[in-house]
Amino acid sequence: MADDQALEAWFCEHVLPLERALTSFIRRNWRAEDEVQDLRHDVYAMAIAGARKEFPADSRAYVFAITRNHLINRAKRAQIVSFDHVVDLEHVDPRIDMLAFERQLSAREELRRFQIGLDLLSPRIREVVLLRKVEGLDARQTASRMGIGIDAVNRQLAMGMKALADFMLGGTGKVIRQSASRRSTRRNRP
């Protein structure tokens, strides 16, 4: 059985780089656009569960196989079952998505993606991220520097973290704003 540290290393090194290809694959084989993120999330959880027993030899094939089976199972369980949809899914060959041109980003390219991702953040969130990362200020120091409350700083930071992760792993990094009642007003579309 693998321990959590090994699992985390495996997940970050072998599964997260697939995020962009995986998201395209799900999007192209699932009718409801707003369920794509949840499906991907399910796949990640299942991949971790399986890898805990034994690390796969080919992580990429493993993750795509999980995805395909998950989509098929969900389609069968959906309240409005579309027979065509299920039949088509069973004929889907994920190899095309797997073969799609994928490179590991070089350090320089990653930095550049980062800059672009930062630019996509709202000015306030960007400021909080920079103060934290470049100047190493904690929440209290950031709050006093920016003249806002600590809770606001933490909220901005949380939003920045999520948006940056989405962007770095291949999406658009749109930031969701949550009202005080924690209900989002816009959908995050990676």
Partner 1 sequence: MSSRARDAHDQAADWLVRRQNPEWSVRDQADFDFWLNASDGNKAAYWRLKHSWDRADRIRALGLRSNTTRALFGKWIGGVAAAILVMIMGASYFVWPQFSAIHPVETRIFQTAVGGHEQLILAEGSKVELNTGSSLRTAISGRGREVWLEKGEAYFEVTHAPDHPFVVHAGDHKVTVLGTKFAVRRDNGKVVVSVVEGRVQLADDKEGHTSRLSILARGDRAVAQGNTTLVSSQPVGQIENALSWRSGMLTFDATPLEDVAAEFNRYNRVQILIVDPQAKLIPVGGRFPASKAEAFTRLLHDAYGLKVEVGASQIKVSR
* Cβ pair 51, 7 in contact under 8 A: yes
Q: Could you write out the DSSP letters of every residue in 144-164?
A: HHHTS-HHHHHHHHHHHHHHH
Report how far residue 127's alpha carbon sits from residue 129's, in angstroms, rounded to the nearest whole number: 5
**83 lies in the site for partner 1, by CB under 8 A:** no
Q: Of 2, 46, 65, 86, which lies in the binding site for partner 1, with binding defined by CB under 8 A?
A: 46
Q: Closer to partner 1 by CB, 7 or 78: give it.
A: 7
Beta strands in 1-153 (DSSP E): none
**121 lies in the site for partner 1, by CB under 8 A:** yes
Strand partners, 178: 184
**133 lies in the site for partner 1, by CB under 8 A:** yes
**44 lies in the site for partner 1, by CB under 8 A:** yes
What residues contact 113, with CB distance under 8 A and at least 6 apart?
105, 167, 168
**123 lies in the site for partner 1, by CB under 8 A:** yes
Q: Which backbone phi and psi does 40 adopt, to 5 degrees?
A: -65, -40
Q: Which span sits near partner 1 by CB under 8 A: 54-62, 63-71, 72-80, 159-167?
A: 159-167
Q: Of 49, 76, 82, 177, which lies in the binding site for partner 1, with binding defined by CB under 8 A?
A: 49
Q: Which span sits near partner 1 by CB under 8 A: 53-61, 64-72, 74-82, 169-177?
A: 169-177
**129 lies in the site for partner 1, by CB under 8 A:** yes
Q: Which span sits near partner 1 by CB under 8 A: 56-64, 65-73, 74-82, 114-122?
A: 114-122
Question: Pick from 135, 181, 166: which is nearest to 37 by CA?
Answer: 166
Give the footprint of partner 1 on residues 51-80 (CB under 8 A). none
Residue tagged 């993750």 (tokens):
63
